[in-house]
Amino acid sequence: MPALRPLPQAGSAGTAGRGRETADVRVLIAEDERMLADSIAEGLRAEALAVDVVYDGDAALERLGVNDYDVLVLDRDLPVVHGDDVCRAVVESGALVRVLMLTAAVTVPARVDGLRLGADDYLTKPFAFEELVARVQALSRRARPAAPPALERAGIRLDPSRQEVFRDGRYVHLARKEFGLLAELLRADGTIVSAERLLEKVWDEHADPFTNTVRVTLMKLRRKLGDPPVIETVAGAGYRIP
């Protein structure tokens, strides 16, 4: 079995600094039945979750080592690195990601064994998709730390827990991605944030890195925030709220 890669620790800068609003929940699906994995991913994306997919345990450990996830949907019988070993690695790392283990085993001892490994929840195949969504959403709430404080800068106040934005006391209605972009710019505290960084944090790896989505979304965000312009473009570097 390949050596297990180190995973992000609880309280690490990458985990602590990331917003935990419901719209920003990120899920990793590790399932070797490709049609099932892709179907789950498509359904969760329709529920406004950011979803990445891998098909073996080694790839799951690699993704967990470089990305922050709220929930890991983990097939127990993964190839290359068994799902049990992936689960152990998550637990030993102290990562904040919650584990929903999937298995074809239906016996009580099998479910108990999975929970003893450190899985947070257990779902047997076949399952109702609505139940999987409900369990993922419940686990994502448990994965989040205490609600982050409101972010304020340049007359803008963004409340992550209430999903509300005000500019100079005026309520601004934002779409989900617009809200996410503004939150990342406010968290940067005046420093420059690249378009690549915004794409990574607000979308998921399924997004085309050559897309103009960030630019288009920022254009809409600027329009909604109104005058005077508050988001500055730094040529060749990115964006900031000075």
Q: Which residues of 7-31 are buried (b: 16+ CB within 10 A; e: fewer)?
A: bbeeeeeebeebbbbbbbbbbbbbb
Identify whether the C-beta of residue 107 lies closer than 8 Å to the C-beta of residue 81. Answer: no
Q: Are 71 and 125 in a shared domain?
A: yes
Q: Are 47 and 133 in a shared domain?
A: yes
Q: Examine the fold and report which residue of 143, 163, 194 is the final residue of a domain before the chain moves on.
A: 143
Domain assignment of residue 50, yes or no: yes
Q: Cα–Cα distance between 5 and 92 in angstroms, integer?
A: 11
Residue-number span of the structural domain to which 228 is assigned:
151-240
Read off the tokens for 71: 């929930």
Give the amino acid at 40: I
Q: At what angle do helices 195-202 and 176-187 cross, to 10 degrees?
A: 120
Identify whether the C-beta of residue 29 lies closer than 8 Å to the C-beta of residue 78. Answer: no
Domain assignment of residue 211, yes or no: yes
| The predicted structure's pLDDT at residue 170 | 94
How does pLDDT run along the chain (242 residues), one tens digit per residue? 444 444 444 333 333 333 344 447 899 999 999 999 999 999 999 888 899 999 999 999 999 998 889 999 999 999 999 999 999 999 888 888 999 999 887 667 766 776 778 889 988 888 999 999 999 988 988 766 555 678 999 999 999 878 899 999 999 999 988 999 999 999 998 999 998 888 888 876 665 656 788 889 999 999 999 999 999 999 989 999 99
Domain assignment of residue 9, yes or no: no
Residue 158, helix vs strand vs coil: strand
Read off the tokens for 23: 């719209």
| The predicted structure's pLDDT at residue 143 | 60
Question: In the chain, how many domains are there?
Answer: 2
